[in-house]
Structure 1
């Protein structure tokens, strides 16, 4: 018997001024404790309309998890690492890495950045970075639904992105009144974030623009389906689904670890220059798709 997933919790995350100063609005999409959002730690929706040339941001470290960035609008960065709307990046911080996010000019963009937990056995993995152009992401259009898959397998598509933690990330656009019905693992903790329009999840909850809907979650690998239907104006949303890792984590500043002692060691490693910059990792740990 196939389980039909339901929306167990729907809410509208609040927006507040972001750390980049004037023109930065930040919206924490995940509003629950980690034990309920596992394997997702943080998801921020950052909207920036920077109208001056004062530098903002800078180099900083991460360790113990992966940052997953999806640029929704605008451009970000310069040179070969520059991102344009629809581009995707997954950076495995692992044992510890430094990366630089500096905005030196007028810039306007919107991006989603996720902190994704690593399996305990991979907590200290060697840093790596994977980048995918939006135009290279696997896509499928069927019955008024356009799917662009960035990670995992979904709707008959498979992404080349390498995963430590099994995770599905896709953007989905529905024509007015269109319905999408696709399989999704019952034991994947999953949610929708609606960017535009509204969708009905199953035959019940209606989820509007800027709202989040977490699906009910099961402990086994039973077959399950996600059914979403767009309202009269159509809809666009991002789907996240990941396999819970079911172990406790310790979070402090830019680090995730399994104990407070490990957190202290990470700070010491950073202070003593033991963390390499992401641009300096070995070539066989840089992937472009």
Structure 2
């Protein structure tokens, strides 16, 4: 018997509060996904960081990661250094894998907003060779139809295909809807998926469940191999939502500080490697570990 397509509906709505961030009084952060991995697999966490820095005092600095991937979408402003600057609408996927050190320092006055996710790696790829992939807004696959503009950063969606390489099958799409516009597209039914509303209000699914700005709407799931339909309709003010959909890996993880692993002893080994300078800095990655699209 063939699997029937389902129409996705919202099964959980969360409204993350804007909390003080670690970069000082000008930084606020919303925990879009946090400490819910048993339900959010393969998404470990997602932070919505907003910085409106009013002074010239440097903030941030070098820090390590290992065992997962960071998935960053810059909604506003710019961040980076002379080796690479992310601008508004740019996307980066950094595979920390076996371990990498990177530096996020902001020196002068700055206004920026970034969505940064920690994405679990498949157990077989936990210690993959580090790599960084940058997809600029100008080169991101885009389609505009019937009042809906979709910019695709990862995976395949809305007839688009991203060049970004994935260890975990992942869809990341920035969707802007004109007033009253309707998005109707297919998704793999087994993907864990949610919508995060950046601006405006939308209704989702046949039951027209409402989501407003800064809300997270988790979608129901179907069986492996089946397809599903996602329907999103903007209200009369228009809307902007970011869709994240990924294939669950169904592996338990250990999370501690900036590291993800399968066992507690691996966490200790990672801290030791970092303290003894055995983790390479992202700036030392060779050709073949750095991809610009």
TM-score, structure 2 as length reference? 0.97
- Aligned match of 1:25 in 25, 28, 35? 28
Query: How big is the shift at 1:31?
Result: 4.5
How many residues are matched?
Answer: 289
Matched position secondary structure for 2:250? coil
**Residue 129 (structure 1) aligns with:** 132
Matched, 1:173 2:176: yes
- 8 Å Cα contact 2:6-2:222 kept in structure 1: no
Kept after mapping to 2: 8 A contact 1:130/1:286: yes
Give per-residue Cα distances to partners, 1:65-101, cap 9 Å, x unaligned: 0001100011112324111100011000000010001
Q: Among residues 228, 246, 249, which one is paired with 2:250 in the alignment?
A: 246
| Superposed structure 1 runs of 4+ greater than 6 Å apart | none
Which runs of structure 2 are paired with 1:29-48 in the superposition (5 Å)?
29-31=32-34, 33-48=36-51
Provide the residue aligned with 1:90 in structure 2: 93
Cα separation, 1, equivalents of 2:127 and 2:184: 38
What CA distance in whole angstroms lies between the structure 1 residues aligned with 2:210 and 2:73?
25
Secondary structure, aligned partner of 1:102: strand
TM-score, structure 1 normalization = 0.98
Q: Which one of 270, 274, 280 corresponds to residue 270 of structure 1?
A: 274
Aligned with 2:239 (options 235, 238, 245) = 235
| Corresponding position of 2:290 | 286
Aligned to 1:226: 230
CA distance in 1, matches of 2:77, 2:242: 17
Q: Distance in 2 between matches of 1:126 and 1:220?
A: 29
List gaps (5 residues or longer) in structure 2: none
Contact 2:65/2:100, CA 8 A, preserved across alignment? yes
Matched, 1:257 2:261: yes
Structure 1 unmatched ranges of 5 or more: none
8 A Cα contact 1:13 1:31, kept in partner = no
Residue in 1 that maps onto 2:151:
148
- On the 8 A contact 1:63/1:95 being kept in 2, the answer is yes
Q: Deviations over 1:197-232 (max 9, x none)?
A: 111101321000110100002232212100111111
**Match for 1:139 among 128, 142, 147?**
142
Written as runs of structure 1 = structure 2, the 5 A alignment for 1:71-82 is 71-82=74-85
> What's the secondary structure of 1:79's corresponding residue?
coil
Corresponding residue SS for 2:200: strand
For residues 259 and 31 of structure 1, the distance between their equivalents in structure 2, rounded to whole angstroms, comes to 20
Partner of 2:53: 50
Q: Residue 68 of structure 1 is aligned with which of 62, 68, 71? A: 71
Map of 2:117 onto structure 1: 114
